[in-house]
């Protein structure tokens, strides 16, 4: 991926919904594999829930190579539909899957008048050049004066990229991602000031 010629950033379209849902599940699969043994079923469970207008895609040679989403404090970028999840996983397992998806994909505690950016998802092993291009694009839009992102405390490469672009860690917190597993996250802030 590092020898990529050109990356174009553009809004996600309705016809990209399937690829986007797969990339979303893929990005969180380490936390979800206990509940979702087949990644395709996870993608189908959230496919209809993505709010397409909040996503941007990175395209190279006609192929989607990355994805980023941006939202405000009032709403997320996925509106989970329990019936879609139940269709894929059945009545008993659906509640566990729903809770796991909600803990990963929900936005909470973001101050008013601020934006939230999900860490860019790359189709090719979280390629840093794709992530950087997507982040720079969102920040250049200047839709909000402050943006927030969460990153796992042990994801050093992601944190270094965010710091390089001007983000600063402002808070540390834990999220219970499964019954007996908590992950520590950093809330990173970018200020236009």
Rounded to the nearest angstrom, the gap between the alpha carbon of residue 141 and the centroid of all alpha carbons in its chain is 18
Beta bridge partners of 70: 117
| 3-state DSSP assignment of residue 175 | strand
pLDDT value at 9 more than 80: yes
Residue 14 DSSP one-character state: G
pTM of the model: 0.81
Tens digit of each residue's pLDDT (9 = 90 or more) over 86-119: 998 899 888 888 888 887 777 766 777 888 888 7
Q: Give the model's confidence band at 3: pLDDT under 50 very low, under 70 low, under 90 confident, else very high.
A: low
Tens digit of each residue's pLDDT (9 = 90 or more) over 59-96: 988 888 889 988 876 667 788 888 989 998 899 888 88
Tens digit of each residue's pLDDT (9 = 90 or more) over 162-178: 999 999 998 887 766 55
Strands 146-152 and 115-122 come out as parallel
Q: Which two tokens stand for residue 40?
A: 């395709």
- Higher-confidence residue of 191 and 34: namely 191
Q: Which two tokens stand for residue 36?
A: 């979702």
* Secondary structure (DSSP) of 104-166: HH---SPPTT-EEEEEEEETTTS-HHHHHHHHHHHHHH--SSEEEEEEETT-HHHHHHHHHTT
- CA-CA distance, 157 to 151, in Å (whole number)? 10
Taking the CB of residue 99, how many other CB atoms lie within 10 A of it?
15
pLDDT value at 1 more than 80: no
pLDDT value at 179 more than 60: no
User: Of the candidates 44, 48, 11, 12, which has an alpha carbon nearest to the alpha carbon of residue 25?
Assistant: 44
Tens digit of each residue's pLDDT (9 = 90 or more) over 113-166: 888 888 778 766 567 889 999 999 999 988 888 998 888 888 888 899 999 999
Please, what is the Cα angle at 93 between 87 and 94, to 5 degrees? Answer: 45
């Amino acid at each position: 991926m590092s020898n990529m010629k050109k990356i174009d950033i553009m809004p996600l379209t309705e016809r990209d919904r399937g690829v986007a849902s797969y990339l979303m599940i893929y990005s969180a699969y380490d936390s979800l594999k206990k509940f979702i043994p087949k990644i395709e079923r996870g993608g189908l469970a959230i496919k209809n829930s993505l709010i397409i207008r909040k996503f941007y895609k990175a395209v190279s040679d006609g192929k989607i190579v990355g994805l980023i989403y941006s939202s405000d404090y009032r709403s997320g970028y996925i509106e989970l539909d329990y019936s879609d999840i139940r269709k894929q996983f059945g009545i008993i397992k659906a509640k566990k899957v729903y809770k796991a998806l909600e803990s990963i994909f929900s936005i909470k505690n973001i101050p008013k008048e601020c934006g939230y950016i999900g860490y860019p998802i790359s189709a090719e092993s979280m390629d840093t050049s794709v992530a950087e291009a997507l982040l720079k694009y969102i920040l250049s839009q200047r839709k909000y004066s402050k943006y927030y992102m969460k990153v796992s405390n042990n994801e050093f490469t992601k944190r270094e990229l965010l710091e390089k672009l001007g983000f600063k860690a402002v808070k540390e917190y834990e999220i219970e991602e499964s019954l007996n597993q908590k992950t520590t996250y950093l809330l990173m802030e970018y200020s236009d000031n």
